Chains A and B, each alone.
Chain A
């Protein structure tokens, strides 16, 4: 093993608030004892344990929401194990030969290098040469700029004041059913802090956490952009990811202090399940950011995976002149169900928000947009523009739009536009007459439909997202 790799590995170990118990998987079920054990395993300070326990207390009193436009069998929360150790090497597939060929075909089409394919598919590999050295240089550059980007479990120990000050301030412990559950049992996630006036020298990508095993089904992310700073954060990757755990309930909190800007981009491609939707991931996410004076938060998301997606990245525009944006492409095909949207809460004066939502449904899929725009009594001169477009491929799918507008300030302006269109036979015929096959044609038409959102994504992400849609739509035209 090269020295570099050894270093990288040992560094991780040094960070090591990881005790031996980690190699065990908890029995199914959730009670106080389980939460104490999770906390103990991570050597957490008392305040965090108490925080978790309070979240658990709230969760127990809450009801699972049923208002979303989703249908699924009731989840038995006592049948889930809330801590599972990384799979041991011997339980993993020995090589790509043992992995679902369908998955490999997709990796190939996305042009994913072999070592990454192995990682994504969970093949037992000892060390990943390229990626380790990439990670090391990446970390060094960030440190130079004073940017903190580390697992949140590590931040709890290294930057306890920051974590304590901000954790749960944007998404309170008892905000909603899934957020409360996450607060009680979260395993890990990212922590980012950008110091005053610093522009992060590179895009922070969860890709660099690719070989951190098992961030788990209850991921927790906290990003703090101090005054006048800027960061672009990329979550996820285009490769379809499989996970043993069906239920995912993540929480992401963004804090943009005065004059700061956070750009948060997601490409989510969890396994949607087989053709009957079996085995697909349920993804219940709470994402919210708070903008202080003149701050700016921009959410961009491309959602193609999961059996069920329930997700509303939101902005609280607390400071005057702050700006919130939401650009979303949500694709649902086969038996997939997506219920996504955003909330823009205008509290400060002259706050602005833009919502561009593109929903694509194919097969039997259902896609719902749910958006709330709230203009508070002090939001003088606030403005919102919402554009909500749905594209249907085939006759069996559905699109639903639920815009909620609450204005308590007569000077605030809210504009809403909505369209529904179909990939028409004429369009398909034109493309085919020009030599393109039906699949290429559909993907091109869909990409055109999504253009306004894709242009918000970092360049290479946008290209991948386009390819991803193409692959995802394969077989959706007969």
Chain B
């Protein structure tokens, strides 16, 4: 599904990813943990092709294609989805409108007919209910005046509607109370399938009680410094990142 080899990337002359490698097979859930500033969000941006995030070395393949060759929107249409750590507002553009354009852009890329307004509305309502947002959120401007938790649930709703191949969730759990956390986790779990893979970026082991990862990686100073199974997350929870050695601590400072 996704193969990252020796990825180096910089933002504004600052090298942030320094030789990151990671391989994800279809159906797998990989959790990425790590201190603040380690480069977790940067990884999501680099993979999705955000302007200003420049790859200086390494290769990335998604479903056998050279991901780095593709434009941002082409990567999205290849099935790469990023749930943002800080979702941005688009005033006046309704969630409905936005999602319909988006869903149909993906369908077009797959050579499918666009959904009619009625078909789309039906799906959107279901997705909206699934993340426990009132239906009037479909009519409201994208993230406009949403609370932090509502924004995160809105991201999950979009993920459900877009049916991506690879979902990158960037701290979709931070700032959520336990009920909202459950909703987000349920949303993710409902989408797990043998074809779909996840990268779950989180600070907290508790999310992984709900979303069971196949692998846990520690990202520090722009590299994966340790990988393991779910028990690694428990260790981090107990011990912090200090035991991982100098590099990880530096990034934390």
Chain A positions near chain B (C-beta within 8 angstroms):
424-438, 440, 444-445, 447-452
A428→B99 CA distance, assembly (Å): 15
- Assess whether A448 is in contact with B92, with CB atoms less than 8 Å apart: yes
Cβ distance A278 to chain B, nearest Cβ, rounded Å: 33
Partner of A434, one of B50, B51, B105, B141: B105
Report the nearest A residue to B82, measured CB to CB: A433
Total residues of chain B contacting the partner, CB 8 A: 32
Q: In this assembly, does B15 line the interface, its C-beta being within 8 Å of a C-beta of chain A? A: no
Question: Contacts A425-B51, A448-B141 known; A434 to B92 CB distance under 8 Å?
Answer: no
Report if B88 contacts A (CB, 8 A). yes
Q: Does B72 contact A (CB under 8 A)?
A: yes
Counted as pairs of residues, one from A and one from B, with CB atoms less than 8 Å apart, the total is 74
B90 close to A445 (CB less than 8 A): yes
For chain B, residues 97 to 119, give those with C-beta under 8 angstroms from any C-beta of chain A: 97-99, 101-102, 105-106, 109
Note all chain B residues with C-beta closer than 8 A to A440.
101, 105
Contact across chains for B91 and A448 when beta carbons are under 8 A apart? yes
Q: Do A426 and B88 touch across chains, with their CB atoms under 8 A apart? A: yes
Q: Please state if B105 and A435 are interface contacts (CB–CB under 8 Å).
A: yes
Give the CA-CA distance A440 to B99 in the complex, in Å: 13
Question: Can you list 14 A-B pairs, Cβ within 8 angstroms, ordered by A?
Answer: A427-B90, A430-B84, A432-B72, A432-B76, A433-B48, A433-B73, A435-B73, A435-B162, A437-B73, A444-B101, A445-B90, A447-B92, A448-B91, A449-B92
Most chain A CB inside 10 Å of its own CB: which residue of B92, B99, B106: B92
- B42 at the A interface (CB under 8 A): no
Chain A nearest CB, measured from B160 CB (Å): 13
A110 to B162, CA, bound (A): 29
Whether a CB of chain A sits under 8 angstroms from the CB of B1 is no
Cβ A447 vs Cβ B93 within 8 A: yes
Contacts A429-B51, A430-B84, A430-B87 given: A436-B102 contact, CB under 8 Å? yes
Name the residue on B nearest A444 (C-beta): B93
Give complex CA distance A452, B93 in Å.
Answer: 11
A-B complex: 9 closest residue pairs judged by Cβ atoms: A448-B92, A448-B93, A435-B105, A432-B72, A434-B102, A451-B92, A426-B88, A435-B76, A432-B73
User: Nearest residue in B to A419 (C-beta to C-beta)?
Assistant: B91
Could you tell me if B101 and A448 are in contact, using CB atoms closer than 8 angstroms?
Answer: no
User: Per-position contact with A for B53-85: 1 when CB-CB < 8 Å, else 0?
Assistant: 000000000000000000111001100011010
List 17 additional contacts besides A427-B90, A433-B50; criterion CB under 8 Å: A429-B72, A434-B76, A434-B99, A434-B102, A434-B105, A434-B158, A435-B76, A435-B102, A435-B106, A435-B162, A436-B73, A436-B102, A437-B71, A438-B73, A440-B101, A444-B97, A450-B92
**Which A residue's beta carbon lies closest to that of B94?**
A448
Query: Which residues on A sit within 8 Å (CB–CB) of B77?
Result: 435
Bound CA span A201–B71, Å = 51
Q: Shortest beta-carbon distance, B135 to chain A, in Å?
A: 20
Residues of B within 8 A of A437 (CB): 71, 73
Question: What chain A residues lie within 8 Å of B82 (beta carbons)?
Answer: 433
* Closest-CB distance, A430 to chain B (whole angstroms): 5
Bound-state CA distance A432–B73 (Å) is 5
Residues of B within 8 A of A426 (CB): 88
- Expressed in whole angstroms, the Cα–Cα distance for A249 and B11 within the complex equals 52
Chain A residue nearest to B75 in the complex (CB): A433
Nearest residue, chain A, Cβ from B78: A435
Taken together as a complex, chains A and B put the C-alpha atoms of A431 and B102 apart, in Å, by 8
* Shortest distance between the CB of A358 and any CB in chain B (Å): 10
Q: How far is the CA of A450 from the CA of B97 in the complex (A)?
A: 14
Give A465 Cβ to nearest chain B Cβ, in Å.
Answer: 14
CB-nearest residue of chain A to B93: A448
* Bound-complex Cα distance A425 to B12 (A): 15
B90 and A433: CB pair below 8 A?
no
Chain A residues near B48: list those with CB within 8 A: 433
The interface residues of chain B lying within 8 Å CB-to-CB of A429 are 50-51, 72
CB B76 to nearest CB in A, in angstroms, measures 4
> Which residues 3-48 of B sit at the A interface, judged by CB distance below 8 A?
48
B68 to chain A, nearest CB (A): 15
Are B76 and A433 touching (Cβ within 8 A)? yes
CA distance in complex: A90, B17 (Å) = 68
Closest A residue, CB atoms, query B155? A430
- In the complex, the chain A residue whose C-beta lies closest to that of B108 is A435
Please measure, in the bound complex, the distance between the C-alpha atom of A452 and the C-alpha atom of B141, giving whole angstroms.
12
What CA separation (Å) do A450 and B81 show in the bound complex? 29
Alpha-carbon gap, A448 to B162, bound state (A): 22
Chain B residues numbered 137-184 whose CB sits less than 8 Å from any CB in chain A: 141-142, 158, 162
CB of A402 to closest CB in B, whole Å: 24
Q: Compute how far the CA of A432 lies from the CA of B71 in the bound complex, rounded to whole angstroms.
A: 9
Judging by beta carbons under 8 Å apart, are B88 and A427 in contact? yes
The residue that B109 contacts in the complex, of A432, A435, A444, A449, with Cβ under 8 A, is: A435
Question: When chains A and B are docked, how far (Å) is the Cα of A424 from the Cα of B50?
Answer: 13
Query: In whole angstroms, how far apart are the Cα atoms of A430 and B82 in the complex?
Result: 9
Q: How far is the CB of B45 from chain A (nearest CB, A)?
A: 8
B62 to chain A, nearest CB (A): 14
A429 to B84, CA, bound (A): 11
Question: In the complex, A435→B93 CA distance in Å?
Answer: 16
Chain A, residue nearest B77 (CB): A435
List chain A residues, Cβ under 8 A from B71: 432, 437
B212 → A minimal CB distance (Å): 26
